[in-house]
Structure 1
Amino acid sequence: MDNQNPDNANSLFSLGGFGGLRPNQIHSPYLNMSLPDTISSEFIVPEGNARNRGRFELAFSQIGASIMVGSGLGGAVGTYKGIKEVSQLEAFLSVKRTQFLNYVTRNGASMANTFGTIALTYSAIGVGLSFIQDQNDDLNTLLSAISTGALYGSISNPKLQTIPPKNVLLQMRIKRGVVGSLFGTFAACSYILFCNKDKYFSN
């Protein structure tokens, strides 16, 4: 049987109960990924557009990504410090290996905890602001970043050898809060402008 003959192929296809339809006229309903407008809100469509999801859904991925980035950066810093310190250590190889692993794990866990705490605070504030007003998401992002920077800078304890007087400590916390809020403002503005180039830089 000649399978290359299109007339034979069409005749065989018509015998299969398709009523004489050609193969290119058959459309499978499983290949149609569009959803009706009336029920599209009930599904999570994988469009890759983060704006379709709320801040509460995005919080999980943001916190997880922040922890992973923090652990990676902390591990890199710990690797550098470990190599530097172990190279000057006169001990057995097993002792050097243990010291090196301690530097890597300690710095990785510490920085992952820091990044995770910042992301959790930012996400919690963002979710709270989204209940107040959700028309302008960029404003929520900016306010969340400023509040997170101010809170983390003012609440975190500075690394000091001795405890200063209360007035000096208060001034240090205020200064650190201002620096944190400025850093949050810069980070939020950079993020907003990067993700909304067409909105703010359109002609």
Structure 2
Amino acid sequence: MMRHSVRENWARVRRSCLKFPERWRPRRRQTRMRYLMFLLALFVSAARAEDAKPFNPSDYPPGVQKALRYANDECTGQDGGEVTFAPDTVRRIDLTGDGRDDYIVDFRDTKCGDRETTYCGTGGCVIKIVVTLPDGSAREVFDGHVRSYKIMPPSVKRGAARIIRFDLHGSLCGGFGAQACVKKQTITATPFAFRQP
């Protein structure tokens, strides 16, 4: 019979205590990790909320500011109140493939006073696409109601213009309002519009 020292016996007892079934074993490490992940997510969201500054039209070039003035003109024409833009009203992205910033101005979440539907209707919400020309000026190439849009992945060809997939009112495809109507358009400096057939 082997004899063990007190220290060895104590180590064996501790090891055997750790052999409890999985469900009885404390999961301190997992609990701590979840708690740390929760705190990290909370910290990141608080930091983003602090970094989010209010929308300011003067942060954009004159061509985009002109497109944004539409909201003020429309609201004034309807005897509305103050125009409130959503933080993501203007999206900055190179659409033409020339390396310059172009802009999509989406009035979906823009409010006129306490009205939320001034810029939207059965055909969707007003969006404007403004492209930057080689001389630095801007040109509005699209202005219309769109239910939704999706910018398609860029072409493998370097410098190629982006294609946008538009979901439109059914009448623009020869149907009626509730019918699906999808059209694609390559964005260049040439203005375009969708018309009923």
Band of TM-score, shorter chain = under 0.3
Higher relative contact order structure (alpha carbons within 8 Å, sequence separation ≥ 6) = 1
Higher strand share: 2
Higher helix share: 1
Give TM-score scaled by structure 2 length. 0.20
